[in-house]
Structure 1
Amino acid sequence: MAKTRPGKRDLDVYTIKGTNKVVRVGDCVLMRPSSTDTAPYVARVEKIEADNKSNIKVRVRWYYRPEESMGGRRQFHGAKELFLSDHYDVQSAHTIEGKCIVHSFKNYTKLENVAPEDYYCRFEYKASTGGFTPDRVAVYCKCEMPYNPDDLMVQCDGCKDWYHPACVDMSIEDAKKLDHFMCADCSCKDNIKKPERTFPASPLANGKVRYILTIFTSLRLDYSIFWIPLTATGAQAPEKIEKGHEVWRGATFLREADTWTSSQYVLLLLLLIFAISTAEERSIYLVLVEGDPVAFHQGSLPREKGAKFDPKRQVYEVSKAHAKHLVESHDQFLQSTLAKGSYSKLYSFKNIVNGFAVHTTPSQEGGDKNAGEGIVIGFIDTGINPLHPSFAYDMMDPPTSKLSNFSGACEGGPQFPATSCNGKIVSARFFSAGAQAATTLDASVDFLSPFDAVGHGSHVASTAAGNFGVPVVVNGFYYGRASGMAPRARIAVYKAIYPSLGTLADVVAAIDQATVDGVDVLTLSIGPDEPPEDTLTVLGTFDIFMLFARKAGVFVVQAAGNHGPSPYTVVSYSPWVVGVASCGTERTYPGTLVLGNGQKIAGVGLSGPSFGPGLFQYKLVLAKDAVKLNGTFPRTPQYVEECQYPEALDPLPCKIITQYYQQQTSRDRRGFVTNYGGKAAIGEGRSAAYMGRAPVVSRLSSRGPDFIDVARNPTDVLKPDILAPGHQIWAAWSPMSALDPILSGYSFALLSGTSMATPHIAGVAALIKQYNPSWTPSMIASAMSTTATKYDKSGEPIMAEGPGIYSLYPSTPFDFGAGLVNPTHATDPGLVFSSEYEDYMSFLCSLPNADPATIRTATGESCSHSFRIPSDLNMPSVTVSALVGSQSVRRSVKNVASKPETYLCAVLPPKGVMVDINPPWFTLAPQEIQDLELKLNVTQALDGFSHGEIVLTGSLNRILRIPLSVIPVSIS
């Protein structure tokens, strides 16, 4: 029995202020929400307590609504469903607004009348992990959904299974009139006696459309009817002729639609489905269009009146052409009537009805409501955790764009049912032939499905395209909310890496499929361990497949590697791939160690406190004093590696702890500890602080320069290309965590690496593509590069971490490429440097050590054209790996802005090089192109690269910076 604290007293009851309603322990109550547009919170009272000032507090156990849980609201969740959570709290009793009743699921289903205060609960919910008890629930009907008491269901007299009327081609009204019902399977069995007035379900029933219509019959509807005659010249604007309330019912509409053979009108039904807290309306229009559908088209084969429509009997070519014509007419009407980006066509009805369904929203650009809308980002990685809230489908705010250029597939398998592709995840495939040929996979972790048993793929995908505002809760502590860079972008998964291994064969198969599917951005937070030994780096199979993806219009982004800070360690080699370096941000998690003598030592946090009100302290033990002498200390490789790389934890030097420890620790003559007298406590270290220099290039981030072969001879390409945050990044995780047992059971992880930086760039690319849909991948890459910054938050040059734990040095383009990405400026750079597939082929053919036969073998193309020098590839950087005497380098820029602009050209020359640029200034109208020529002359020979930059300053305040890196070999 709980004890009452001093000065407190337990109360048996509490009367809600302003009412005569009495609350007792065990009652369920409605509590005042944080905002007026939010439904009251629901809680169960665990204790009522008053202090000596008559302030009354209640200890409550919260109920969560489905939309408040990690998985979000699902189709089978009822409107009155709640989850009993493990989240306890103490609140003022004055926040109680009323009482309610939370029934068991069984009792709720027996209620004859459901009152506003009636709710039900069938799951307990663990708020910290998102887990449910029970974790499984029975499913019904052929749609395999758990029971929703808000939906009417009918039971088959034969097999006793339950079905939604819509899933068996039955209206709600018909279902209510039934005495008996037989499902399709039972109707086909001769040995089952069929009662009179039995409704036989059709095995060919199309339940989806009717289900969508029927679901609205229980709602109050506002709708308008429009008459829209279609002419040969296209659709006219709608004319509103009638408005009503609660007149239409789904079943009536279906019966009328079934009798139409050639409609004379278009009925545009505006269904007001719901309103969210921002009062933003979401509307679905069901439109019937004048003209015959395929089934009744004159070009089809004749059929007898009343005969069943059989698609196999129709003239294939005629039917296909007419169906295409109908879809195009639907699209034409929408394009001429609604603003671009303000609607999403859900269906084109063309077989037995000519019409379409369209979902409309107010047109928005940017922000979490629209960021990445209509863009598909592909991820070649370890798969995805489909149950994570970062990838949940938001029924309250569904996507507004139709992915007309994307065609994926959902490949089910262990831990990944085919229904996992929920609209946010639009495609999921896995590639395992190479892995299975190379080794025997472990069935317990190497799932032959898109499921992510590792966590890496989920982390990467949520960083780029995870849902907006997902709560990050780890061990019960709320760290904040996470969001992908492009939270409205859709996700296509291509699993090619398994816990046991990943093979090049599986990866290139995934690249090939992603390209065919039509992803807009392809993310590869993976790379080779070493450069290819038998060919040039840019002609390796991996890079050539990425070249083909780029040829198809896919923006390809790859991690630069985690082998820094040594030079020549990048694993992203080719100019058609954007290689991403990693940096730290100003966010840190400081912690405090409180010694037994009262001294406080600042350090690294990320752990909860070890003390409470009484400052509970524990023995302080030096690690080497705790090692067991009998050799049973577990030398697990991952822990040994962590101990050998302490700088990954940002440690701070401190002699005070050592001095205190030695003073308080007793030892015998052999030096062994006889008494640990030192004590310490760990303070709160989970709250973020924002301080220090930022950004700083991460120590582990691989460095340039780029190289052309296994001997690491430098080449005329800048790598890495760009810098993005990659240190201590919160993102989604897979609780299985097959390769990191220390993270097992967690749904979020804080990780560092270029793998974490890469999806930031993928998300930015999606935003740029959304804002400028006609831009090619090279234009997007150019926009990022020329608008990136070389300066930190204090206006000082960005520094890079060196080999030592605390060493910093001024960074160069070989540390950060063009600099830290600036997403805002990248959407409007003014000028772009554009290169296409033919230019990359000319680059390959101009390499001095490239054999044309090898190039043809790798690409299938002959060297019909080449640049004078590889440096002439039109990139937003200039790299010359061996400048002898003088050399000219060519570039061209295109004005992608909406207005003419004049640019002044300036050069900050690298050491040992004199640079002239011609013309020194130019003016470009929109879409015009200007050629530039740089003349480089060696003034001092150097052993290595020196760096400078070209600066283009526009009359409309745009500034573009182009990195310039040169090795001045000799003056002549």
Structure 2
Amino acid sequence: MAYIKTKVSLKGVLILGKAEIYIVTLEGEPVISYRGGVNGFEATAVESDSDEKIDVTSDLVISYARHLEKRHDMLLDMLFEEGTYKKLYSYRHLINGFAVHTTPEQADMLRQAPGVKSVERDWKVRKLTTHTPQFLGLPTGVWPTGGGFDRAGEDIVIGFVDSGIYPHHPSFASHRSDPYGPVPKYRGKCEVDRETKRDYCNGKIIGAQHFAEAAKTAGAFNPDIDFDSPLDGDGHGSHTAAIAAGNNGIPVRMHGFEFGRASGMAPRARIAVYKALYRIFGGFVADVVAAIDQAVHDGVDILNLSVGPNSPPATTKTTYLNPFDATLLAAVKAGVFVVQAAGNGGPFPKTLLSYSPWIATVAAAVDDRRYKNHFTLGNGKILAGLGLSPATHTNRTFTLVAANDVLLDSSVAKYSPSDCQRPEVLNKNLVQGNILLCGYSFNFVVGTASIKKVSQTAKSLGAAGFVLAVENTSPGTKFDPVPVGIPGILITDVTKSTDLIDYYNMSTPRDWTGRVKSFKAVGSIGEGLRPILHKSAPTVALFSARGPNIKDYSFQDADLLKPDILAPGSLIWAAWAPNGTDEPNYVGKVFIHLT
């Protein structure tokens, strides 16, 4: 939190305080709903009985938007001395208001000022395919009605408020299809990268902007990893854009194996990027509202929000009557179809992050494709697990060696060697040619440990493969199959993991000090690269947020039933950004298989 010293001329009182970001809404209509005159002229954004979008190019509308911004500046200038506050954004098109960095004392003065409707302290938001088109019946149902897969989504502009985009990914390449013509209705711009001096647009991507004033002012923005540009430093934005509008027929190749060919659901649609989410902290509502306001101004047809607030704002008595959801309402009134993810708080009820009654809230479904694998013990028992990996050599078993039993010396125990993240602490002579047995600890769920790193450790030590045994899990723990280049499997069931450990211990003789005399346990890893199709689909994904929404301060019973629809959202193959990510299993990857 940043601190500033402020001096406010109000009855001679000097006010010192801790600066924060506030979103202020004012009386008076925004551009989208204005139906009157100002300064002697008429300004009507949209006819009340019309389905047409807002005409932001109208001279009258432009003049009214400027008039609103002047009102914002005049109010601040009237109340506070110059240098005691910082206005971050003026919101003119969807809501009439602004975001300002100021003290709580000044915020109280704003609340009491004539013409001010609300003053909300800014709050945070968070980030909420090869087979999916076939599962949804698009190739035989929807795509032919839109001209086929090579024309489905033609001239539709989808705006993505997310973590940006990796424009060099083949899912967004323009040279893979017929040339893209201009879209006259779209008025967005393409920012130029400060380092490469190139913009982010190529015909497929037709708009790319980023919004970070609130993040910077709050001291949360790190330009080294967040990228002060539309470039995706996380991967989430590229993933969602590719699922919705990625090119058709893109080969998904990893570790020498092709998992299929990826396609967006509307492969010919255009992509407009409005980056407002960042790697470590997520984002701030003030930036997200600015991004949405700009997207509607620019003329997007669809607004995709895989983002939601961490919680309802502190002072609003009804969850969906706040500046964020009011902005979404105005976007819908402007003719934009708004889609928002329900959230990832499942399987528990009342975990929704999408409150707006006027938009489409989408729950995540599991489709009919599953990736499964198995580990066969020397005693004949078969343990089911997850492992997007090749098999060990057929008709052959390999010796099992536990990481804790192949330490170079006892001093390395401080490094938690059982999670197999550090190859340098393990004895290569004992691991080479064998299957390395590791423990899947809590560090994999909330820490920095990753299956990718286990795979790298096993490979560097010359192991035949690896097996991870879950030590314990909490309700709702989500396990994703991670593609690896060597045989590997995660045993996700605690009971089956216990069977594995019991077998290993009974088969491994030790001396009186507990040191292994010889390794006798053996096993083999199955092949998990090919999917199995199930008939029981779709089903709600375990992690998908549930309703009802009963977080309102004034209601005991549910007053809003959500989500609205269900769509595939679990384990979808799609693009990723190799620049950097908080998902340690996917650092450097171009495609991932993720929720």
So what's the TM-score if we normalise by structure 2? 0.60
* Residue in structure 1 matching 2:594, options 751, 758, 761: 751
Aligned residue for 1:678?
521
Residue 705 and residue 425 in structure 1: after superposition, are their counterparts in 2 closer, same or farther (change >3 A)?
same
Residue 365 and residue 738 in structure 1: after superposition, are their counterparts in 2 closer, same or farther (change >3 A)?
closer
> Using the alignment, how far apart are the partners of 2:555 and 2:247 within structure 1?
41
Contact kept? 2:280, 2:582, Cα under 8 Å: no
Contact kept? 1:619, 1:679, Cα under 8 Å: yes
Residue 668 and residue 540 in structure 1: after superposition, are their counterparts in 2 closer, same or farther (change >3 A)?
farther
SS at match of 1:505: helix
* Residue in structure 1 matching 2:564, options 714, 721, 724: 721
Residue 553 and residue 708 in structure 1: after superposition, are their counterparts in 2 closer, same or farther (change >3 A)?
farther
* Residue in structure 1 matching 2:342, options 557, 560, 575: 560
Aligned residue for 1:32?
none
1:551 aligns with 2:333: yes
* Residue in structure 1 matching 2:166, options 376, 385, 393: 385
Aligned residue for 1:603?
385
SS at match of 1:511: helix
1:373 aligns with 2:154: yes
Correspondences of 1:65-464 after superposition (within 5 Å): 365-394=146-175, 396-399=177-180, 402-414=182-194, 417-439=197-219, 441-464=221-244
Residue 714 and residue 578 in structure 1: after superposition, are their counterparts in 2 closer, same or farther (change >3 A)?
farther
Superposed CA deviations along residues 130-186 of structure 1, whole A, max 9, x for unmatched, are xxxxxxxxxxxxxxxxxxxxxxxxxxxxxxxxxxxxxxxxxxxxxxxxxxxxxxxxx
1:493 aligns with 2:273: yes
1:590 aligns with 2:420: no
Aligned residue for 1:517?
298
- The structure richer in strand per residue is 1
Contact kept? 2:378, 2:397, Cα under 8 Å: no
Aligned residue for 2:289?
508
Residue 378 and residue 599 in structure 1: after superposition, are their counterparts in 2 closer, same or farther (change >3 A)?
same
> Using the alignment, how far apart are the partners of 1:421 and 1:638 within structure 2?
39
Correspondences of 1:633-782 after superposition (within 5 Å): 633=416, 639-641=444-446, 644=473, 647-649=477-479, 651-652=492-493, 653-654=495-496, 656-669=499-512, 673-691=516-534, 693-707=536-550, 709-710=552-553, 713-752=556-595
Shift of 1:440: 5.3
SS at match of 2:226: coil
> Using the alignment, how far apart are the partners of 1:538 and 1:406 within structure 2?
29
Shift of 1:419: 3.7
Total equivalences in the alignment: 388
Residue 364 and residue 697 in structure 1: after superposition, are their counterparts in 2 closer, same or farther (change >3 A)?
closer
SS at match of 1:373: coil
SS at match of 1:420: coil
SS at match of 1:538: coil
- AA aligned to 1:432 is A
1:631 aligns with 2:411: no
> Using the alignment, how far apart are the partners of 1:437 and 1:658 within structure 2?
51
- AA aligned to 2:580 is S
Residue 413 and residue 419 in structure 1: after superposition, are their counterparts in 2 closer, same or farther (change >3 A)?
closer
Shift of 1:399: 3.4
> Using the alignment, how far apart are the partners of 2:146 and 2:243 within structure 1?
21
> Using the alignment, how far apart are the partners of 1:517 and 1:638 within structure 2?
44
Contact kept? 2:368, 2:533, Cα under 8 Å: yes
Shift of 1:734: 0.6
Residue 516 and residue 693 in structure 1: after superposition, are their counterparts in 2 closer, same or farther (change >3 A)?
same
Correspondences of 1:826-837 after superposition (within 5 Å): none
So what's the TM-score if we normalise by structure 1? 0.38
- AA aligned to 1:522 is L
> Using the alignment, how far apart are the partners of 1:704 and 1:628 within structure 2?
50
Superposed CA deviations along residues 391-447 of structure 1, whole A, max 9, x for unmatched, are 0003642236x4221111100225775343000000000011111101153232111
SS at match of 1:537: coil
Contact kept? 1:570, 1:703, Cα under 8 Å: yes
Residue 571 and residue 364 in structure 1: after superposition, are their counterparts in 2 closer, same or farther (change >3 A)?
closer
> Using the alignment, how far apart are the partners of 1:569 and 1:624 within structure 2?
43
The RMSD of aligned alpha carbons is 2.9
Residue 685 and residue 575 in structure 1: after superposition, are their counterparts in 2 closer, same or farther (change >3 A)?
same
Shift of 1:632: 2.0
Residue 532 and residue 414 in structure 1: after superposition, are their counterparts in 2 closer, same or farther (change >3 A)?
same
Contact kept? 1:573, 1:707, Cα under 8 Å: no
Superposed CA deviations along residues 581-630 of structure 1, whole A, max 9, x for unmatched, are 11211211121323345654443221223x23674624243889989874
> Using the alignment, how far apart are the partners of 2:238 and 2:333 within structure 1?
28
Shift of 1:554: 0.8
Aligned residue for 1:526?
307
Aligned residue for 1:537?
319
Shift of 1:637: 7.5
SS at match of 2:414: coil
SS at match of 1:550: helix
> Using the alignment, how far apart are the partners of 2:192 and 2:382 within structure 1?
54
Superposed CA deviations along residues 666-714 of structure 1, whole A, max 9, x for unmatched, are 2345656554321223222111111262222112111111235257744
Shift of 1:470: 0.7
Deviates most, 628-637 or 525-534: 628-637
Contact kept? 1:467, 1:483, Cα under 8 Å: yes
Contact kept? 1:399, 1:488, Cα under 8 Å: no
Unaligned runs of 5+ residues in structure 1 are 1-362, 753-972
- AA aligned to 1:693 is S
Contact kept? 1:371, 1:486, Cα under 8 Å: yes
Structure with greater contact order relative to length (CA < 8 Å, sep ≥ 6): 2
1:484 aligns with 2:264: yes
Shift of 1:540: 1.5
Contact kept? 1:379, 1:461, Cα under 8 Å: yes
- AA aligned to 1:388 is H
> Using the alignment, how far apart are the partners of 1:694 and 1:561 within structure 2?
20
Shift of 1:559: 1.0
Aligned residue for 2:253?
473
- AA aligned to 2:233 is A
Residue 458 and residue 711 in structure 1: after superposition, are their counterparts in 2 closer, same or farther (change >3 A)?
farther
> Using the alignment, how far apart are the partners of 2:349 and 2:404 within structure 1?
35
